[in-house]
Structure 1
């Protein structure tokens, strides 16, 4: 098995698309996938970012020991009669507009890269569900090493980039490469209720200055993340078992 080919097909890239993303010719990518040419360090770095795996996994042609949201399929949550939701229904349009709303507000802040955005989206969704027992975006998240990861983030945002809604930018944050997203249009907030918009604004305000490390550590204390299996879907119902440290239930109006 060639890991580059396996992961490329897993996320639905053509050879031409992936070659363009990592700035090599299609023939060079074909050579990587066939094993005729060893993947360069620079290409491995780009591929690791796209596939959300380590550079070593690419260079050593090995699947990562910790599953990535793009590497392994999400594990289904067993149907239980007492659960209102097992796997939340995706709302792609709302996801796009909420994502655009967030990056319009804080996308240019020095600390706000991909990992911070993952966590803000997670807390928007799970805190809203705890407060109101309703879904806001209703995206699915899995348990990864650095905290909750939205399952379809890469595919949705890639489509948004192709449609001209946003642009991906590489930057340095404390000498480490950071993936940022900047908007190319305003969010259409007609898809959001006043209650939803207020909640999103409060969540952004709460976390906008946190580093990726701080947010990841905080998410690791959240019961939904703790209760999930590694690489498995994080169950929305687990918010009702949160500890006081992460619970937002008390802020709900009576």
Structure 2
């Protein structure tokens, strides 16, 4: 909802599709040349790659009085000259020592992408494009397991044991049987007995192009919200085809 995209749901008796669309305009700043910059190509690659991952999963909808429906997922990023609900600013700042060239998305709808930035440009673009659509960085606060973890430590748990104390878009009630691998991110500021864990996902958190069901939990969550506001409660969850 914060990302201001369009989530269009088409349903048949037992199937259908959920299509997530955003319109985006391009800007070129700090010396980026639109005639030679490869940024638009990175965007196209990222959307195609994201859809390849989305084809591995479905949104399962259960509504009282209706048959169970399984919907495919499709992402669309439509370039517009102006007036889109997102903007990508291609930044030509040189990557020199002491210069921060780490790309980012602000408020869900403004991306600054450093053409000479840190990391593989395609992988970085995939990470940031999915932020534009709605996927957050996934973090969970969990109690210490044994002793405080070391930096880089990894633990796999099956929610809700031990259950997340605070969580963003993972471990929801309808997805609670999915094992999740967490890597130690840092201490929780407000509780010394808690530790912050990062969830690897298609956002390149594990350094690969692997796709996990957690990468699409947010779609099911938003769909439940949308149907609830229309007075038609449903239960939505991400499943394999």
TM-score class, shorter-chain normalisation, is under 0.3
Name the TM-score, length of structure 2 as normaliser.
0.25
Higher relative helix content: 1
Name the TM-score, length of structure 1 as normaliser.
0.24
